[in-house]
Structure 1
Amino acid sequence: MFSNKTEFKEVFLQRLEMTCGKSFKESSKRDRYQTLGNMIREYVSSNWIKTNEKYRSAKEKQVYYLSIEFLLGKLLRHNLLNLGVDQVVQEGLSELGINLDDLEEVEADAALGNGGLGRLAACFLDSLACLNLPGHGCGIRYKHGLFEQKIVDGYQVELPEQWLRNGHVWEVRKADLSIEVPFWGKVETLEKDGRLTFRHVDAETITAVPYDVPVVGYNTDTVNTLRLWSAEPSPYLVHKDIMKYKRETEAVSDFLYPDDTHDEGKILRLKQQYFLVSASIRSIIRAYRKQFNRIEDLHEHVGIHINDTHPVLAIPELMRVLLDEENLGWEEAWHITTQTISYTNHTTLAEALEKWPIRIFQPLLPRIYMIVNEINERFCQQLWQKYPGEWNRIENMAIIAHDQVKMAHLAIVGSHSVNGVAEIHTEILKKREMNSFYQLYPEKFNNKTNGITHRRWLLKSNPKLTNLICEGIGDSWISKPDQLLELEGYQDDPAFLDQLFMVKQENKIKLAARIKEQTGINVDITSIFDIQVKRLHAYKRQLLNILHIMYLYNRIKEDSSFTMYPRTFIFGAKASPGYYYAKKIIKLINSVADKVNNDPVVRGQIRVVFLENYRVSLAEEIFPAADVSEQISTASKEASGTGNMKFMMNGALTVGTLDGANIEIKEMVGDDNIFIFGLTAEEVLDYYQNGGYRSFEYYHHDKRIRTVVDQLTNGFFEDVEDEFEMISDSLIMENDQYFVLRDFASYIDVQKEVGLKYKDQNQWLKMSLLNISRSGHFSSDRTIQQYADDIWNIRPVNKRPLTKN
């Protein structure tokens, strides 16, 4: 790309003046960022075109990953690293008096996701490109994404996320490839050439305009595509109330996860889901048709993967295209559809398995409902033949039942593969949550434990640790992350461990500066940085964490002889706007922080920080600085987790339950290098099934619990009145659904153990190094290779390394 920094500087300065129409001295940081971004994207475009041409000429199978979320984060430095030009660019800019970090600050986080689901999708795209696998993403180009979180007086306040305010330098708008997506209207049935045909008429259409983002592979010339659809008014539709139509149209790609507590929000969510799959499926078929004559062979050349239940309408939409546009018969269309589509389940939570009321689904998507209804009728006939007379079983497995369309059931029936995302999660699906489907389709179910792209979560976010690793074992681990195992040879090397300690301290200094800037709080970098950052949900149990901090506060205040290793507790989390209980927990965390941080007796031993607007770029500063990783979900509730892997890769030690991928992390590092506590999944599920848990007994018999629960409502927090009554009621009156009080004593004990272990710095560093060395298994490269081999049946098309010209 640039053979040296001199050449880079010449091209950069020339492009800056041409693009911005001003001299270098007059240019702003934004001008410079835009110029550099455009240069990189234009350079990438050549390989982007070549990659697509290679896929077409090779006629290899391609996979399309459909996800309602893609949490990309910032792409500038990530792309520079993957292209291998980060040093040249950094040095060239430095000689011009420009700090690359400052330009990266200008870039907005691509706010296209909420949490692990969206970040996983982004990691998967990175691994597909890095492994030269023909795989692309399809999502929605949300104008405002989720929301920007502000904390005002301890409360979460949601503001529109403005990530597109200054455009997005990485995207290419392709209006010529737009697709009209229909809603409402009615279906006409006609007989033509002896067969029934169906036509969707009087529909209100929305134009789906694709914006393509290049996905750059590491040290390779493979560039795959993330296609994001934007909703725009149709130029072909005459509407009696054009302003209302425009507002409703643009709302489809305005916000991620609109509030669905009312019908208006439900309709908008369902519109989003069909908008995504209809535009994507028809775009995929259009590309396929340019290459191949026989639609009957679609599944041999195309794989479509649905990431959780949000894109499940891909199944009836593909059926609709094959039936209504390609004129195939039902059996043939169904065979192609089921062999093309595969499904990942991400939850065991019943409320997260989407169900849509027929009264909303049928009028909004009349033809799609007809097809889903037919799928259901045929499926129920199949069940009747296998289980004659077992009405309860058939009723429970039906796709349509009790006036609802069950999306997870449709996903299982209409796909050839159903995978969980951690060993325990898959086992729970098979043995409990989806056992009836597993009995019917045992061959469909498989496990693919999640992974993270180490190129972003280590190489990019922790350059100091990356340099130390490369000094120790070379750099081939960047392409083959399992080679991190070689670090174990340094466990008894004092000099290496000292350097590891210094890296952690420097990262803590950097995060401490961010905390000071954002919150005004000074934190002690010699304290244990104990961190819980993730989506705010009751099952993730941020509540357990903050109640434990209240317990520590009480101990310090009551017992002058009590001492503990100083600890800084750091939280970051967004609560869904309509999830009032989760928002109460955010307020509680901030109320505890105010109490602790302003108490001179306590603040020398404990500090509490809530970092607002948790996002990818903030996460990249948090993970490298962590000493302790809080992964404390109620066992059986967290499907996998990926934050646990990011912390592990950056040398933090896990405090966790035997849930999700924590179990596999424990298997990797051994019992002595992780801190496990609390109920097992089997114990939790037994409580749910057979009862026997009475939270009031734990409240009554454990003074520590009684004190902290009483403090929620007894005036301990000034000026909050009955603010936390909802939390107190959930723990006592509603019998503590997520077993916070049941695990409280165990959590206290394991946290005490953490403090004692941290005092032995040499041993702690050995444990940290062992976690890093064994984290390579949790690279998304491993996960994607398993998907490619076991589910998608795709193989690398391009193995030639990148030529830097």
Structure 2
Amino acid sequence: MTDQTVPMDQDIQPATSGDEGDLIALDTIDDIKRQLKSYLVHNVGVSPSYASQRDWLYAAAGVVRGLLSEQYMNTALREREQDVRRVYYLSLEYLTGRSLIKNLLDTGLYEKVRQALAELGQDIEAVSEFEYDAALGNGGLGRLAACFLDSLATHSYPGFGYGIRYEFGMFTQRIENGEQVEHPETWLRYGNPWEFERPNIIYPVRFRGRIASYKDDRGQDVRQWVDTEDVIAMAYDVPVSGHDSGVVTKLRLWSARATRDFDLKYFNQGNYIDAVKDKTISENLSKVLYPADTTLMGQELRLMQEYFFVSASLQDILARHNRSGHSLDKLPEKVCIQLNDTHPSLAIPELMRLLIDQYGYSYEKAWDITSHTFNYTNHTLLPEALETWPIAMLEALLPRHLDLIYKINFAFLQQVKIHFPGQPDILSRLSLVDDSHRRIRMAHLCVVGSSHVNGVAALHTDLMRINVFADFNRLTPEKFINVTNGVTQRRWLLQSNPGLSSLITEAIGDRWRTDLLAIKELEKFADDTGFRDRFAAVKRANKVRLAALVETRCGVRFSPDSLFDSQVKRIHEYKRQLLNLLHVITLYNRLCDGDDDIHPRNVIIAGKSAPGYFLAKQIIHLINDVAQVINNDPRTRGRLGLAFVPNYNVSTAEIVIPGTDLSEQISTAGTEASGTGNMKFALNGALTIGTLDGANIEIRDAVGEENIFICGMTAEGVAEMRAHGYRPWDFYHNNPALKRAVDMIASGFFTPDDPHRYQAIYDTLLSHGDHYFLMADFDSYAAVQDQVDKAYRDQGTWVRKAILNVANMGTFSSDRSIHDYAKKIWNISSLT
């Protein structure tokens, strides 16, 4: 099958009345009521008298989706008329969360729809609870991508997102006997009310096969990829609204389909399983986010998934560009593709393949176009997290792409030889091919094939330049820049914290919604006693809501008058949930020993572990075992609590973050690229206890050292200790409180039925080198936690610090990030 597509959807037609029919009328509450009832009858298929709350959700979503579709058509028309350069954001993750309330706030319809539903006997908050979180991501990477699409649309930048429509997403996390158990995340059980299915937008995606070589009529060598096994990518479009901008962009998600539904020969023989075998295998590509890579089959599926995504996206981008009437020679002038981490890295050889094999470009011209079209965002400093793929697997699945990667590498290393003559060692370090392990370095491919490479926090970018990509930085220092991450205040303040949003707007107006720098005006209210009291009342109401969530999910009662201390993020050793837990055990011991000088504190931990990550799952199990002991000990009840909230997602975060007093951001210095949870918490009035890692440093500089709690070593200190030989046993023996906590874990104090359950954790901390320096940082962390305890008792001062945190978070908006990308990297302008 050749690379081709059926005609595209006509998304550039203006939305006007006339042949297309009247537009959706939503001017009055009566208009909205009519539209809701009409949608119920004609689209949901139920009578308003018998409609369930889920039915009302789909009616409300359907009406708003229609409006967004009209706005998208007008946006696309403006882009065509202005002949703009458009950015395409390629990400394997998008954590968009629920969309009903967001879209109503963005379009200014929230109050009208709320009242219309009320007059129809429905509560909008209750209705919105029936919307499933879109299970399209895992953590900060996906949340960042969703924030960026929001900011692109809000500020009228021409942008478009691409991803995969995962049928089951990551997984639903349940805690059974204290352990994480993964269950299918059936978020599409009732369909997705926001998506438009596009059965006419399909592309073939090719795998396996072989390379056939021959000479053309000009005597030139030609290589063709033949005898392939093909899968069909079909599009689903989700509109992404801008806030009060009238601009809507799209997130296009690909779903895998077999090239034919079944083999008639097998079916006629009565062998139904073989008849649908190809269909089943093909459609696995869009079933699950990040299939487990602990087996060869899982690794192969993940690689196929990554290529499936980029191939369909690149074919779609080229088809749209060709419809514009521009030559592909002008692709870099009209198209900018941003690679969100290395997952889309195969887009680079895929664009080369399309330009050479399908459009007849020479290798040199194709590379010139390709290398000026892509940009790459790096999200990790951990060497083990930098993606590589076995050469043998690429050769079997994508032989043409491996062939092109070899050519790219050869041409690149010729340039390296010129720049660094007589330095053979640098060739092996910069090569895209890791010969010793027979793997392809995907991050190297991204750096070589991109115009710009950006880090996501000032420290991260500095470390990227001097460590991870040091040799590349010597070769092309102008390529590396910083764009600090940000979060959208529309989701993480306006929507998730309506009480605080209203208080802020009443005090300084609503310009902060689209220009978060305006929130700086809140500083003048930090010493206003009346404002502080109202701010504290909002925080307490949010804590009551969070306490209800914890009781529902965990069966534990937390008093809203205690300090709420939260660490919510992916479970990973470098994020150091275990350091937090060691401190909780230490507090428990102090209380049991009769120390009454501790303010009541409740600790909330949440996050998913990768299914195959043994130690992270052990940490979750340990947290739950410790919680069982602490929460049921009468000596500590009401004074210390611990809860692991299962199945952490965007909707859960919208309750946890506004209700938190203390935000835990304690990754080992030099390991977290940026973090965005740290920004969300501070924006909602939580004080941060954190290491000098990622964006914590920039948050400290913004809010002031007196309004944040900094602990632990610096990245330089960690590197120096590692270089000179780190001995975790020394810290263990020299700190009795630490030794006691570790020994309690190792001896089975929390698991008397299985005393050796956590031997692996003990060995990791002491026998295997404590790679993330928990032992070294514990003393500093515990001492700063004592400062937190004392500071929280002075509520007037604490609230003042919280207000100043909110007031100084203006630079951490994803709007600022997008403005930086637009100016420094993408060279795009807002639509006029």
| TM-score normalised by length of structure 1 | 0.98
Shift of 1:245: 1.9
Aligned to 1:272: 305
Residue of structure 2 aligned with 1:401, choices 408, 415, 434: 434
Aligned to 2:545: 510
2: CA distance, partners of 1:401 / 1:292: 41
Within-5 A mapping of 1:702-721: 702-717=735-750, 718-721=752-755
Residue of structure 2 aligned with 1:108, choices 123, 132, 136: 132
Aligned to 1:442: 477
2: CA distance, partners of 1:624 / 1:275: 38
Say whether residues 1:735 and 2:769 are aligned partners.
yes
Aligned to 2:385: 352
Shift of 1:237: 9.4
Task: Please give the secondary structure, in 2, of the residue aligned with 1:106.
Answer: coil
Aligned to 2:53: 29
Shift of 1:385: 2.2
CA offsets 1:297-350 (integer angstroms, 9 cap, x no match): 100000001000000011101111111111111221111111100000000001
Whether contact under 8 Å (2:381, 2:460) holds in the other structure is: yes
Structure 1 residues 389-398 or 226-235, which shifts more?
389-398
CA offsets 1:420-463 (integer angstroms, 9 cap, x no match): 00000000010111100000010100000000000000000000
Say whether residues 1:579 and 2:579 are aligned partners.
no
**Amino acid paired to 2:599:** Y
Aligned to 2:7: none
Aligned to 1:207: 232
Whether contact under 8 Å (1:651, 1:771) holds in the other structure is: yes
Within-5 A mapping of 1:561-600: 561-600=595-634
Task: Please give the secondary structure, in 2, of the residue aligned with 1:178.
Answer: strand
2: CA distance, partners of 1:385 / 1:126: 44
Aligned to 1:44: 68
Within-5 A mapping of 1:212-291: 212-235=237-260, 241-291=274-324
Aligned to 1:300: 333
Aligned to 1:494: 529
Task: Please give the secondary structure, in 1, of the residue aligned with 2:98.
Answer: coil
2: CA distance, partners of 1:252 / 1:628: 40
Aligned to 1:134: 158
Whether contact under 8 Å (1:451, 1:778) holds in the other structure is: yes
Task: Please give the secondary structure, in 1, of the residue aligned with 2:747.
Answer: coil
Aligned to 1:157: 181
Aligned to 1:627: 661
**Amino acid paired to 1:765:** V
2: CA distance, partners of 1:49 / 1:197: 41
Say whether residues 1:93 and 2:117 are aligned partners.
yes
2: CA distance, partners of 1:679 / 1:188: 57
Aligned to 2:508: 473
CA offsets 1:203-232 (integer angstroms, 9 cap, x no match): 110000010110111111111110000011
1: CA distance, partners of 2:221 / 2:194: 46
Aligned to 2:801: 767
Task: Please give the secondary structure, in 1, of the residue aligned with 2:523.
Answer: helix
Shift of 1:166: 0.7
Say whether residues 1:430 and 2:465 are aligned partners.
yes
Structure 1 residues 35-44 or 243-252, which shifts more?
243-252
CA offsets 1:79-105 (integer angstroms, 9 cap, x no match): 111001001111111122211111111
Aligned to 2:360: 327
Shift of 1:566: 0.4
Aligned to 2:699: 665
**Amino acid paired to 2:504:** I
**Amino acid paired to 2:598:** M
2: CA distance, partners of 1:621 / 1:10: 33
**% identity of equivalent residues:** 45
2: CA distance, partners of 1:500 / 1:610: 27
Task: Please give the secondary structure, in 2, of the residue aligned with 1:176.
Answer: strand
**Amino acid paired to 1:676:** I
Say whether residues 1:343 and 2:376 are aligned partners.
yes
Residue of structure 1 aligned with 2:208, choices 164, 184, 191: 184
CA offsets 1:370-426 (integer angstroms, 9 cap, x no match): 100100111122222222332221111100122110000000000000000000000
2: CA distance, partners of 1:192 / 1:715: 73
Say whether residues 1:535 and 2:587 are aligned partners.
no
Task: Please give the secondary structure, in 1, of the residue aligned with 2:212.
Answer: strand
**Amino acid paired to 1:411:** C
Residue of structure 2 aligned with 1:522, choices 529, 533, 557: 557
Whether contact under 8 Å (2:749, 2:755) holds in the other structure is: no
1: CA distance, partners of 2:761 / 2:740: 14
2: CA distance, partners of 1:351 / 1:216: 37
Say whether residues 1:784 and 2:818 are aligned partners.
yes
**Amino acid paired to 1:243:** V
Shift of 1:21: 3.6
**Amino acid paired to 2:178:** G
Aligned to 1:722: 756
Whether contact under 8 Å (2:606, 2:648) holds in the other structure is: yes
Task: Please give the secondary structure, in 2, of the residue aligned with 1:72.
Answer: coil
Shift of 1:545: 0.2
CA offsets 1:604-637 (integer angstroms, 9 cap, x no match): 2101011000000000011100100000000000
Shift of 1:750: 0.4
Whether contact under 8 Å (1:678, 1:746) holds in the other structure is: yes
Shift of 1:691: 3.0
**Amino acid paired to 1:149:** Q
Structure 1 pair 691–755 and aligned structure 2 pair: CA distance change class (3 A)? same
2: CA distance, partners of 1:309 / 1:242: 36
Task: Please give the secondary structure, in 2, of the residue aligned with 1:267.
Answer: helix
Whether contact under 8 Å (1:204, 1:237) holds in the other structure is: no
Shift of 1:116: 0.3
2: CA distance, partners of 1:43 / 1:773: 34
Structure 1 pair 661–370 and aligned structure 2 pair: CA distance change class (3 A)? same
**Amino acid paired to 1:701:** N
What is the number of equivalent residue pairs in this alignment? 796
Aligned to 1:801: none
Q: Which has the higher contact order (CA 8 A, sep 6+)?
A: 1
**Amino acid paired to 1:15:** Y
2: CA distance, partners of 1:563 / 1:472: 37
Shift of 1:712: 1.2
Shift of 1:692: 2.4
Shift of 1:177: 1.3
2: CA distance, partners of 1:192 / 1:293: 27
Shift of 1:242: 4.2
- Structure 1: stretches of 5+ with no match in the other structure: 799-805
Shift of 1:236: 9.3
Residue of structure 2 aligned with 1:172, choices 196, 221, 241: 196
2: CA distance, partners of 1:236 / 1:243: 7
Task: Please give the secondary structure, in 2, of the residue aligned with 1:44.
Answer: helix
Whether contact under 8 Å (1:315, 1:414) holds in the other structure is: yes
1: CA distance, partners of 2:39 / 2:370: 48
Shift of 1:276: 0.7
2: CA distance, partners of 1:680 / 1:490: 34
Aligned to 2:519: 484
Shift of 1:715: 2.7
Whether contact under 8 Å (1:38, 1:169) holds in the other structure is: yes
| TM-score normalised by length of structure 2 | 0.94
